[in-house]
Amino acid sequence: MSDRSSSTLHRRSPFAGLALPGGEGLAVIPAPEATRLILRGDPATVAAFGLPVPERLKATTTGARAALWLGPDETLLLAPGEDAAALQSVSISGPHSLVDVSHRQTGLVLTGRLAALCLSSGCPLDLRLTAFPVGMATRTLFHKAEIILWRQAEERFHIEVWRSFAPYLAGHLAEACAGTTGL
């Protein structure tokens, strides 16, 4: 029997064994392992985690940590895996809820000049830089999968998705990206 209290369980990537799309103008890679926490409550409580409070539909970062605004009282906190204990030990005053969703979600990073075009095949948002600028983050859909989409740079997107939808997302991205290879 293993002692779960002394170590973090290693999660197998849901993208392991899947062929992720890539090529000239596009790279799709699994996001680094991270702790993912959903914080519900006064938005100012995000500051207790050492992060600037994100504005509506925005993300803020400090080092490798990030806070993504998901709603008036909901924020997704992302941090490297080793920050889990530090994040969960933060003391917050006032009513709130802090839930670790690290085992529920996973992430993908799309980079390159074709990233927005590839995502546009299954996402209803206008992903032109003027409509979806760097730093913007929101819940949306990619085909039938709910995702959280965050534009980290002009040609870099971070996608958060439930682990059970990871193969579905990877398959549809591969299909979409195959159609962009000649561009």
What b-and-e string marks burial along 159-178, b requiring 16 or more CB atoms within 10 Å of the CB? Answer: bbbbbebbeebbebbbebbe
Neighbours of 135 (CB within 10 A): 16
Return d(Cα 28, Cα 90) in angstroms, integer. Answer: 33
| Mean predicted confidence (pLDDT) in 97-109 | 93
Q: Which two tokens stand for residue 170?
A: 């990877």
Read off the pLDDT of residues 107-150 as tens digits, 9 standing for 90 and up. 999 999 999 999 999 999 999 999 999 999 999 999 999 999 99
Please name the helix (run of DSSP H) or strand (run of DSSP E) that holds residue 41, with its range, or none.
strand 34-41
What is the value of pTM for the model shown?
0.88
Residue 6 belongs to some domain of the structure: no
Read off the pLDDT of residues 39-94 as tens digits, 9 standing for 90 and up. 998 888 888 888 999 999 999 999 889 999 999 999 999 998 766 666 667 778 77
Total tally of structural domains belonging to the chain: 1
Which structural domain, as residue segments, surrounds residue 71? 22-178
Decide: 80 and 36 in contact? Cβ < 8 Å. Answer: no
List the CATH number of the domain containing 100. 3.30.1360.120
